[in-house]
Every structure is written in C-alpha cells, then in structure tokens.
Chain A
Amino acid sequence: MQLKQILDEIIRIGTTYPEYAIGSLIPILPLSIGIITRKYATKSSRLILYFVIFFIVTDIPTWITTALDINNLLYNDTKIYSINIFLLSVYFLGIKRSSDRIVLFSFLSIMCGGLVFQLFGIIEKGKYNWINVLLLGSIAVWYFVRLIDYPKIRDLLIYPFFWFNTGILFYCFSTLLIYFFFQFSITPDIKSHTYFLFRSILEYLTSVMFILFAVGFWNLKKNAQIKLK
C-alpha cells in the first residue's frame, strides 16, 4: 500500500469514526499551550509535556496499523500500559518522603511486571489494565489528600499540578469500568459494536484528560507570576 493510500485510509477512518480523530488530535492542544508556556514549566509539568508528546508519537503507529488493517491490539494494550507507567512516574518528582516513594515504587513494579507478562503472553492482553488505572487513580487521590494539608497554595485552581492531577484522576476512574469490562466482552471481537462503543467512550474520556492538562499548562504563567509576588 502506498503512502497516499495509507493517508486516504486514515482520513476515511477519521471521518467515519470522528471520536478516534478527536482523541488523537486533542493532545495537540496541551502540547501547543505547553510549548508556549514552557519557560514557566517546573520539572513535573515538563514531564507531563513529554507525556503528551509520547502519547502523540505512539498514536501514529495505531493509525497506520489500523489503516493497513493489521491487528494492533497488543500494541494498543502495551501503549496503555506505558501511558499508565509514564503518568505514575510523574509523581516521583513531587514525592520526597521515603515511605511514600516505596508505595509508589511497588505500584510501578506491579505495572512494569504486568507489562512484561503481557508482552510474553503470560497474562491475557488488556485483562489487567483496570488494575493499572486503579493503582494510578489511588495515587492521584492520595496526592489530593496531601494537597489538602498544604495550605500554602493560595488558589488551587491556578496551581498547574492540580489540573494535571485532576486529569489523571478523571482518566483513571472514568475509564476504570471500561477497562474492567474489556476483559469479559470485547477483547475477543475487536470489530463488535460494543468494542466500538467502549473505545469511543474511552477516546472521549482520554480527551477530557488532555483538556485538563491544557488548563494546567495555561496556568503555568499565572502560577509563576504569583510565586514571584
């Protein structure tokens, strides 16, 4: 298949299933804002920006393989695993207490172990993604609990990591059931109506996460100005 044919097929898929196109194009919004406000970026926000780039880059093979009608389920599940591992790693920057780091490290080990087992076929593809989002979500909840006891932040709504964490929390708990039900009904038949419905919801929910990331990047400048004051 020629490049033009691949592009035509991608456009056809994108117009037939606009939710997929939206899910893939939305990350450009936080990327653009993140680039604009990059001089105010902290270590953690820079890592979130790298995550957005990672997401965009790893999405390209999904589109190409779909256009070529190649089964990319393993790739997609590996990508989801990597996304969760990447997002969990972001919390390492904000955590200084050793006991907290141990919890984080054990969660990371579970995720990495799951990824390796999945790649070697020891566990079924995508069967335990829900555990990953549950672990990541619990870290996001825990981070908020810590944030409550940190009254030095004048306004949470302009604190960038509040929005990043909200995005992660939203992504984890809103997709939890989808990942949980995937293992029972969808994985065997990727072309079923249920699969497309679940994937569509997943795309929309992931888009919300990126919109919240964009708000976080937007607030980088405001937050830096307040810190200077």
Chain B
Amino acid sequence: MKFSIETYLILGTSMLIFFILSFIVFVVYYQRKQFKLEIKQNEEKQAIELEFQKKLLENSMEVQEIERRRLAKDLHDEVGALLSVLKMGNNQLVKKEVEDESIKKLVNNNKELIDESIGLVRSISKDLVPQTLENFGLIHAIEEFFNKIEKNSSIEFKFLHKNISEKSRFAPKVELSVFRIIQELSNNALKHSEASKIDLILNFENNTMFLIFADNGVGFSMEEVLRNPNSGLGIRNIESRLSIINGAIKILNPEKGTRFEIEISDCHEKN
C-alpha cells in the first residue's frame, strides 16, 4: 500500500497537533500543581511563623506574670516587713508618756501614714497577683475586682454569668488572660468612657467562653485609636492576650457607649 505525500502530511501534522495540545495541557496542569504547592508552602510557612509569634507572645506574657509575682512578693516580704517593723517601733513610741504635744501629734500622724502605707503595699501586691483568681476562680475574682472599683468610683457595675458557676475553673492561662482583659477594659472605661454603668456578661457554651463588656459612655473610634501610635496599647494588649488563648474580639459602637464582644474557643472547664 503506497501513501501519497498528502497522506503523510496530514497524518504527520495531526500527530504534531496532538503533541502540541498534549504539551499545552501538561504545561497548564503542571503550572497549577506548582501554584498549589507554592500556596501550600506559603500557608505552612505562615502557620509556623504565627505559631512562633504566639509562643513568643505567650513567653513574654509569662515573663510579665513572673515579674509581677516577684514584685508582689518583694513588696509584701521586704517593704511590708519593713513597714511592720516601723509600725512596731512607732507603737512603742505611742505607748511612752510624752509630754510634748507636738511630738505626740507627730507620732500619731506617723502611725496613720504607716497604716496607710501597709494597706497600699497589700493592695498593690494583691493587684499584681490576683490571689482570689488563683484560689477561688474567675467569678470570685471578677466580683471582688468590681466591688473594689465600685467603691472608689461612681460607676455602677453589673456582672452576670451564665453556665459558669462560682466553682467553675478553667486553665490558669485562660483565667488569668480573661481577668487581665476585664481589668484592662474596666480601667479604660474608668479613664476615658465617662460612663455611669458597666455591664459584664460571661457565658460558657460548647467549650466556648463568651464575654460581653458594655458601657454607656461616650464611645470611641477604633480607627482614630489605631491611627495614633501613642494610644490603643490597651486594645493591642487585649488582642495579644486573646491570640494566645484562641480568642477574638469585636468592638462595636452602639448608639451610646462601647460594646466589646469576646469569644474564646477551645476552652475547657476543669473538674
């Protein structure tokens, strides 16, 4: 069987076209595969970087807590002890019969100052290390904290907790972070919000902790806060703490005041 040149040409050209198309399909397939691989590698890299940053942040928070603990201990053991010795000495002076009225007045005045200093040292060291939180849990610590600031301010605090009993305990990292966040939000509200009422709702459902902190103050613009490098440290601090415990914050500006909604996932109650 003899083939003409036309047949050879058509057959050859068809084969070439087939090869070209196969090559192009291969190029598209291979490039897509490479692109997906690149995306996957980038995602893995980002996840590692994120994990590293999280660990770094966690360590820095831990160091901060250790430092607070050390400071509280030093204040209590060193300064507190010195003040106690001073108080004892002053008490002996009080007991002695002194005729000079001005010296008597000075000694009594010193006694008041020493008592005030002892109280202050206790209060500061208690603030630095929330003993109630460690010993009795989140609900007790929040209640104690709110009672304390309510006494010293004109703001009315309302605390509501759902599905969390007073005996409920969580991981120390979670408890401490939540407590510090509440402290930060309360301090911010006291300093800037001009609010007369603060509501805190704490809820726990399906291993997720929900926290709503709302005030009826003047509110604030998050954009403005972030634009100013000297402000917003508190919010950034909250975000950092939340990133360590799988939490997220939403800041809402209702008609009046500010509302913070915090969600902490993967949060397990300890028995």
Contact = CB atoms under 8 A, between A and B. Distances in A.
Contacts of A148: 27, 30-31, 34
A3 interface: no
Contacts of A201: 9-10, 13
A121 interface: no
Interface size class of B (residues with CB under 8 A): 20 to 34
Interface in A150-195: 150-151, 153-157, 166, 169-170, 173-178, 181, 184-185, 194
A177 B38 contact: no
B62 to A, nearest CB: 40
Interface size class of A (residues with CB under 8 A): 20 to 34
A170 B31 contact: no
A156 B28 contact: yes
Contacts of A173: 16-17, 19-20
A78 B16 CA distance: 25
Contacts of A149: 34
Interface in B163-218: none
Contacts of B38: 151
B35 A174 contact: no
Contact of A170 (B8, B17, B35, B37): B17
A198 interface: yes
A147 interface: yes
Given A177-B16, A178-B13, A198-B9, A169 B35 contact: no
A153 B34 CA distance: 10
Interface string B1-35: 00001101110110011011001100110111011
A141 interface: yes
A24 to B, nearest CB: 21
16 contacts: A144-B24, A147-B27, A150-B31, A151-B31, A151-B34, A151-B38, A156-B31, A156-B32, A170-B17, A170-B20, A174-B20, A176-B16, A177-B12, A178-B13, A201-B9, A205-B13
The 6 nearest A-B residue pairs measured at CB? A151-B38, A151-B34, A177-B12, A151-B35, A144-B27, A173-B16
